[in-house]
Amino acid sequence: MTKEKQPGTRILIAEDDPVSRRVLQAFLAKWGYEVLSASDGIEAARLFETDDAPTLAILDWMMPGIEGPELCKRVRERKDRPYTYILLLTARTQRDDIFRGLESGADDYLTKPFDSQELRARLHVGQRILDLQSRLMEAGKRLRFQATHDPLTGLYNHGAIIDAIDRESARQLREGGSFGIILLDLDHFKRVNDTYGHLVGDAVLKETGRRIASCVRPYDTVGRYGGEEFLIVAPASDSSGAFHLSERIREAIGVLNFETKAGPINVTVSCGVAVGGANRPLDSQALLQLADDALYQAKKNGRNRSEPANTPESTGSGRSASTQAGMDAARH
């Protein structure tokens, strides 16, 4: 007889009666399920704790160690695991017993002796619910990604990278230490768009993001701050470490030409580096202001360079209109 395939479907059965367990295994194997079996509630609880525990389960009500309803409660208490669809098998037919089983966390029940086709139909219902939940979770992940990532580069967007600074600033206040940020701007990027078109400009931005990401540590965070500006948050970095990271990124971008449909293009960047530490705690806006001022200095001093920020004590409280206008002009 040909086995009816249902690829990728795993199911846990917990049944203390060996004959009933073998009958269940035979039906489920015929229907294409990969079966994990337990002979009591304790063994079933252990299988539920594994990283690859099935999300579909058939539990007998009366079992040694842990009964089916109690096992349902324990499974439902675990909020850090994917949802498990549980079908409770029981010889109890009283309404109060059925209510108790469902209230314990079971999704469905089937009375013994069960009809094999009814069991199969109820399992199909459970699988449809699990499939729907999986699609909803994937949709949620896509929406979260879209809400926090730049669609062009795939890096964190403006809001998400600012959140990363806020989180690191809060961590630094709790635990001490220091962290750095690097504000990076492509030099003369307007010329790229004006000369080669915005499609080539977009390709340059994407490749810039890729090169930045290839230089940072796994626990650093990279985001597109806006336009042709990128922002890197570097935890556990002092002034020297953040500056060296900035230089490594700058060199990775400027040493090799960007290969585009319009031919090779040389791209350079200017970077402003600012560091917050236990001796000078700074919120995200103050740290960004320092990095922005340092970036302006890098532009003013010839571009294609990194500049460390002045300390807060030596930084003015604000910019004049003429200074702001000069900074805006220097960026292009």
Distances in whole angstroms, Cα of residue 165 to Cα of each of 140, 221, 263, 279, 294: 25, 9, 37, 17, 17
What's the pTM?
0.69
Are 84 and 56 spatial neighbours (Cβ–Cβ below 8 Å)?
A: yes
Pairing of strands 306-308, 221-226: unpaired
Task: List all residues 6 or more positions away from 222 whose beta carbon is below 8 Å from its beta carbon.
Answer: 155, 156, 161, 209, 212, 213, 216, 230, 231, 232, 233
Sign of the CA dihedral running 320, 322, 327, 331 = positive
* Phi, psi for residue 81 in degrees, rounded to 5: -120, 155
Which pLDDT score, from 0 to 100, does residue 278 have? 65
Spell out the domains of the chain, with CATH numbers in brackets: 10-147 (3.40.50.2300), 158-330 (3.30.70.270)
Looking at residue 331, what is its pLDDT? 52
Yes or no: say if 108 and 88 are a contact pair by the CB < 8 Å rule. Answer: yes
Helix axes 158-175, 284-300, angle to 10 degrees: 110
* Residue 282 pLDDT: 76
Only one residue has tokens 């002045």, namely 310
Contacts of 254 (CB under 8 A, 6+ apart): 266, 267, 268, 269, 304
Residues of the chain falling short of pLDDT 50: 1-8, 313-327, 329-330
Both tokens of 116, joined, read 């094999």
Task: Specify the pLDDT at position 277.
Answer: 75
Residue 48, pLDDT score: 92
CA triplet 256, 262, 265: central angle to 5 degrees? 25
Output the pLDDT for position 177. 86
Hey, which residues are catalytic here?
228
